[in-house]
Structure 1
Amino acid sequence: MITRRLFAGGLASASFLALTSPARALPETACPAVRRMYLDSAFGQLHLRVATPDNSAGAAPPLVLLHQTALSGRMFDQFLPVMATDRIVIAVDTPGYGESDRPAERPTLAGYGDAMLDALVGKFGPKLDVLGYHTGAAIAADLASRRAEVDRVVLVSMPYFDETRRTDLLAQVGRPLSAEGEYSEDGSHLVSMWKGSFGSRADGQSLDDVARLVAEKQRAGIYGGWALHSALENDLAPTLSAIEEPVLVIAPHDGLQEQSRAAAALIPGAKIEELPEVAYGLFDAIPDRLAETVRAFLSR
């Protein structure tokens, strides 16, 4: 069952399912307000969360945040305003996730990225920095290898797998979609989803946080594995080797730590930041520290 496997632990060893959103109040210091907007894209309306500094004149290039499957830009709620003190920061809902329209057919990895970047450059361009997390990191890496509009790149928990592992993971997400068998009439599939989220929660995460997380996972329904499927179809080694822009790879102590290290080794001149003290939910658990690290890299 795709829904159960994706959202209840089937890919937990790859860190795709360790989705966390621990409770944390925003910092006491003044942060830009986050506003919502929609842009037209190749796949319909694209939903954004945007934080703009009080004085954005002469600010650094905008930073685009690309989320993990099968969540949305909501996963950056704590990080977004903290990061936006000296630049515009945009959290995008990947087409088919959150509040962005779903494509009629599953896009390729490049298709997802191009649809988002084309819309964003039209509004915020001509140069954008990009940060991607998990599936979002795969999209960010692909864009950096092909698109001149991408300036600097941050890859967090990079899903870089060899062919054997990709084949194994694709077997779990690559079969035809059907609502029949994906859901149980008594709702027991939600119990598996709950247990997967509750079991990987970060310190301080409340039951309400877990409930919101499980609700977010359900938004894409039986299409929730699409972006992950598109990422796994690609051998990312040539993509990573082709990146010429400055790259920072952040490797928290999660199920993709070794994969992140391997990816960094393939990218010419890439820098790597190890976070051994934090695993999942880092954008909620340490947004201030993470913003400091990312800002220092982007400002070089």
Structure 2
Amino acid sequence: MTKGGYVDTAWGQVHYRISGESGPWIGLFHESPLSCRVYEQVLPLLGRRARAVAFDTPGYGASDPPPGPGFEIPDYGRVLAEAAAGIGMERPVLGGVHSGASLALATAAHLPAAGLMLSGVPLLTPEERARFIAGWTPKAPLDDRGSQFAWAVERYRRIWGPDLPDELLHLAVVELMRVADRYDWGYQAAFRNDPSEALEAVDARILLLNAEGDRLAAKDAAALELARDARLVVLPDLPGQPHLRAPAAFAAHLLAFTQEVNRTTPS
């Protein structure tokens, strides 16, 4: 069973969903421009042995937006750490997918973590960063003909693959449409951010948990080199989105890692 809630922060209210009433804490951050709904199937599996919380990034889902579009990933991390502390999280395992991985790293700078789970760390080259900044977030065609819906469907079939199950396509399109006028805010902050320094600074174990065919799978080797103490687990035969396409396997690896780091770190 999962429950929803809100916590006050410097940017207004941050929305979250939580599953589990005892055990170690797990905090999860989603990819832009979606919401904590991407963890709907993962949360109850984690909640059997942990207190798992999935946050809506400020400006996405049901969380209040930042004061404007120009804030950076460290700013988001500070606010999300405030939200996590506000609901009593202590020494959590922090995890995220793509831009959510950058948010987990930024949050860990303000909230001591027992470990980190990172899926698709966006360790982009300067050239890749520039291309994403310039071309990844075109303005959504908002009009009274519904062009925005066809645009969103085409976008996710293109970036998540033509084999995308209908339920995942629906989830992605609905969440994008909720924030269509500002869907680029968190994206652009993530593209401007280089997570390599934050990754190098992590003084905790890291689980790199990715899909074999993930768009950022090629960056896993660089993440292993940068991190002080990391291991890589690849879920085979998945084109991406491991938390959505293989929630049971994703949750099992994350829960085992959480139990492992909590056996070897102080409470």
Q: TM-score, normalised by structure 2?
A: 0.88
Q: Could you say what secondary structure the match of 1:40 adopts?
A: strand
Which runs of structure 2 are paired with 1:147-296 in the superposition (5 Å)?
147-172=110-135, 182-198=141-157, 200=160, 205-206=165-166, 209-252=168-211, 253-296=213-256
CA drift of 1:293 comes to 0.9
Kindly indicate whether the alpha-carbon contact (under 8 Å) linking 1:202 and 1:280 is maintained by their aligned counterparts in 2.
no
In structure 2, stretches of 5+ residues that fail to align are 261-267
Aligned to 1:105: 68
Counterpart AA for 1:218 = M
Q: Provide, for residues 79-137 of structure 1, a one-character-per-residue CA deviation record: whole Å limited to 9, x for no partner.
A: 11011111110010011000011122132101111111112113223322111111100
Q: Provide, for residues 152-201 of structure 1, a one-character-per-residue CA deviation record: whole Å limited to 9, x for no partner.
A: 100011111011111121123689xxx7x742443233212112334536
Quick check: 148-157 or 190-199, which moved more?
190-199
Quick check: 192-201 or 241-250, which moved more?
192-201
Aligned to 1:19: none
Counterpart AA for 1:50 = I
Q: TM-score, normalised by structure 1?
A: 0.79
User: What fraction of aligned residue pairs are identical, expressed as a percent?
Assistant: 25
Change (3 A) 1:78 1:202: farther
Aligned to 2:99: 135
> Separation in 2 of the partners of 1:196 and 1:173?
10
In structure 1, stretches of 5+ residues that fail to align are 1-32
Change (3 A) 1:133 1:202: farther
> Separation in 2 of the partners of 1:290 and 1:78?
10
Q: Could you say what secondary structure the match of 1:221 adopts?
A: coil
Aligned to 1:63: 26
Change (3 A) 1:108 1:63: same
Aligned to 1:39: 7
Output the aligned Cα RMSD.
2.2
Q: Which has the higher contact order (CA 8 A, sep 6+)?
A: 1
